[in-house]
Amino acid sequence: MKTPHPVRTFIVTGIALFMVALDNLIVTNALPDIRTDLGTGLEGLEWTVNAYTLTFAVLLLPAAAIADRWGRRRLFIGGLAVFTAASAAAALAPDIGTLIAARAVQGAGGAIVMPLTLTLLAAAVPPARRSVALAAWSMMSGLGVALGPVLGGAVTQAATWQWIFWINVPVGAVLLALAPGFLTESRGAAKRLDLPGTVLIAGGVLGLVLGLVRANEHGWTSAQVLGSLIAGAVLVAAFVAYEARTAEPMLPLRMFRSRGFSIVNGLALAMSFGMFGATFLLIQFMQGIQHMSPLGAGVRSLPWTGMPLLVAPLTPPLIARLGIRYVLAIGLALQTAALAWLAAVLSPGVGYGAMVPAFVLAGIGMALFFPPLARAVLGFAPPELSGVASGVSNSLRQLGTVLGVAVLGAVFAAQGDFTTPQAFTDGLQPALWLGAAALGAGTVAALLIPAHLPATAEPVPVKASEPAETSS
């Protein structure tokens, strides 16, 4: 077996990571154009976002297990091929249903690619230089998140919304050509794939989200909506019961016996629920009501999305001084204040200047949130389950985004619509207050985290099979 080359490995994995992270938010500034071009409504836009995020969240942990058994390079190349082909399908979509289906397949490819970028890079870099490599990996992920709205807006304005997907195709093709020669094959300990658990949680979350998204159109007491919600709840309960009994669970429930682990994962879900659910609606407000261009909305959101790149380096000394729980609480409190500020000042004629302080608060809050979250997830988990724990946290954050878009979208649809600026504002304000309430509850819960990590917790080296935390 040939020796892996760190630089060549980083070229392929770094660009692939950037591309997948970019697609988490690149679609946001294209949503108004997609709504007009494909003749869809709020429900179609919600599924355009959620189809990607839902499959990404559900398949993240199973993909790591499959890669350990079948070969990490092989599965990485397969996932990259799926992601690239699905991007082309999304660009060619003639209607919203086809676009949603393509986005779901794209999310599946992204779920395979993203954790394996770290897996392959960690295996290629000598331990002495691993911290530098991981910093570079984090930078590529952060750049993808920060530049997603800007690049999405620029491409949509310069060409059409289809090009936010077309740009993945040549990049993916080049990476597919380079990967066989630049990456080295490796495997991990053979693990049994938890197929029943995967099917149960996928069906459960899909049922819950389908009911939430369709409730306002069909009525909360309609058979379709009630059936979806009840079926989703039953499947989620069945998933928990199955995971408690099976010998090799996808989600080892014993990790949640730790109060610290349970709370920090609840915070991960609450943060994504409030913040990214609000982002879905705010971008449409900036374009549809404030008449910003796609690029203009992307650039004006940089005080929010770009702030973590500037503030994150200051977080470690703050953690050392105040402790993990207080830094998490401060980060969530700032995000709570940001959404409350926006909800309070919002009106059809509000100026961008009145929104900037909230964007800055939200960006600083996110920067203070993710680093201590990653430390706490690994610190409160059993060392032998560090990779699984990190993947669980990442999956819960993605599911939080799915639920946030669905629930805040349902609140918006119950109180407002797209017909007039005032109607849109009437729906957006209560949705923002709900997002702020979720983040405020997270702020209080953060104070209940144990003051110190367990005595057995030590800095955990990144394992070749470990899907890491990202800020996407």
Collect all residues with Cβ–Cβ distance below 8 Å to 459 and sequence separation of at least 6: none
What does the buried/exposed string (b/e) look like for 359-381 if buried means 16 or more CB atoms within 10 Å of the residue's CB?
bbbbbbbbbbbbbbbbbbbbbbb
Instruction: Looking at the structure, give the CATH architecture of the domain made up of residues 252-472.
Output: Up-down Bundle (1.20)
Give the amino acid at 58: V
| Residue 449 DSSP label | S
Q: What is the pLDDT of residue 191?
A: 66
Give me the residue spans of the domains in the chain.
1-192, 195-247, 252-472
Rounded distance, CA 229 to CA 33, Å? Answer: 31
Q: What is the pLDDT of residue 462?
A: 41
Collect all residues with Cβ–Cβ distance below 8 Å to 248 and sequence separation of at least 6: 191, 192, 194
Same fold, 1-192 and 252-472: yes
Rounded distance, CA 55 to CA 233, Å? Answer: 18
CB atoms closer than 10 angstroms to residue 434? 22
Name the token pair of 369: 């949130």
Q: Which fold has domain 1-192?
A: Growth Hormone; Chain: A; (1.20.1250)
What are the helix (H) ranges across 312-380?
315-322, 324-345, 352-380
Collect all residues with Cβ–Cβ distance below 8 Å to 214 and sequence separation of at least 6: 43, 224, 225, 228
> H or E element: which one contains 90?
helix 72-91
Give the amino acid at 16: A
Return per-residue pLDDT of the chain as tens, 472 residues. Answer: 566 678 888 889 989 988 988 887 788 888 999 999 999 988 899 889 888 988 888 888 788 778 777 888 999 999 999 999 999 999 999 999 999 999 999 999 998 998 888 778 877 878 777 667 766 777 787 777 778 888 888 898 888 999 999 999 999 999 999 999 888 887 766 667 788 888 898 888 888 888 887 776 777 788 888 998 999 899 999 999 998 898 888 788 888 888 999 999 999 999 999 998 998 899 889 988 988 888 888 888 888 887 877 887 788 889 889 989 999 999 999 999 999 999 999 999 999 999 999 999 999 998 898 888 878 887 888 877 766 777 788 888 888 888 898 889 989 988 998 889 999 999 999 999 999 999 999 999 999 999 877 755 444 444 433 334 444 4
| Residue 27 DSSP label | T
Rounded distance, CA 246 to CA 67, Å? Answer: 21
Name the token pair of 73: 């390079």
